Amino acid sequence: MSEALLALVTGASRGIGAAIAHSLAPAHRVLLGGRSGEALARLAAELPGARPWPVELTDFEAMAEAVAGIDRLDVLVHSAGVVELGTVAESDVESWRRNYEVNVLAVVELTRLLLPALRAAGGHVVVINSGSGRNARAGWGAYGASKFAVRAFADVLRQEEEPNGLRVTTVYPGRTATEMQRAVNATEGTEYTPDAYLRPESVADAVLAAVTATPDAHPTDVILRPRRR
């Protein structure tokens, strides 16, 4: 009997990342990436074959040590992210740097480090982007710019690595019922109405559909929006 496929999901301790870990777990051994070892341990207890992978993604030396020994990787899902809002006039360079460090640089470096393992498995990279990665709007400058940047990275990676057997999918969810969305609503001064948003499980279903697509298909971009009610 062949060994289960291996997946690594960042941002797995809650929200969309946790939902994706649940969706992949039946057919994958899942490495649960995140900062809270306690939260990851609780999730690992729910998922047979899963184990915590606690790493600070902006500590690139620690990241390099954490990926050592991963020789084959079938699925890499970048779900970790931060959002700091503000107008251009209000947002200092540190706000721009924090958005870019997690939303772009961590994605780039983790992917680069794992490329040999992904190539060995003919793997699949999934980047959880945002509606802000397709449409920029006032008050979301630093975050939106980081999402446009990681969109460009995924497009370039797809062109470069498809000849090596890799597939690269970018998922653009609309507003999703997560704690991050609750925080965004608080910043905007708007009501958090989870029933009006996507469920994290709906985003996870889209990720699962992408990674289980038949070998002849390359799902490149998946756009999800909450259904109007």
Tens digit of each residue's pLDDT (9 = 90 or more) over 144-165? 999 999 999 999 999 999 999 9
59 lies in a domain?
A: yes
From 143, 172, 192, 197, the catalytic residue: 143
CATH of the domain at 173: 3.40.50.720
Q: How far apart are the first and last CA of the chain?
A: 47
42 lies in a domain?
A: yes
| 143 in catalytic set | yes
> How far is residue 156's CA from residue 176's CA, in Å, rounded to a whole number?
27
Q: What is the mean pLDDT of each run of 10 residues along the chain (229 residues)?
A: 82 95 96 91 93 95 95 97 92 95 97 98 97 92 96 98 97 90 86 88 97 96 89
Number of structural domains (the chain) is 1
202 lies in a domain?
A: yes
229 lies in a domain?
A: no
Indicate the pTM of the whole model: 0.95
58 lies in a domain?
A: yes
Contact indicator for 111, 156 with CB cutoff of 8 Å: no
206 lies in a domain?
A: yes
The pLDDT value given to residue 1: 36
> How far is residue 201's CA from residue 181's CA, in Å, rounded to a whole number?
15
Contact indicator for 67, 44 with CB cutoff of 8 Å: no
Could you tell me the residue range of the domain that residue 125 belongs to? 5-224
The pLDDT value given to residue 227: 87
10 lies in a domain?
A: yes
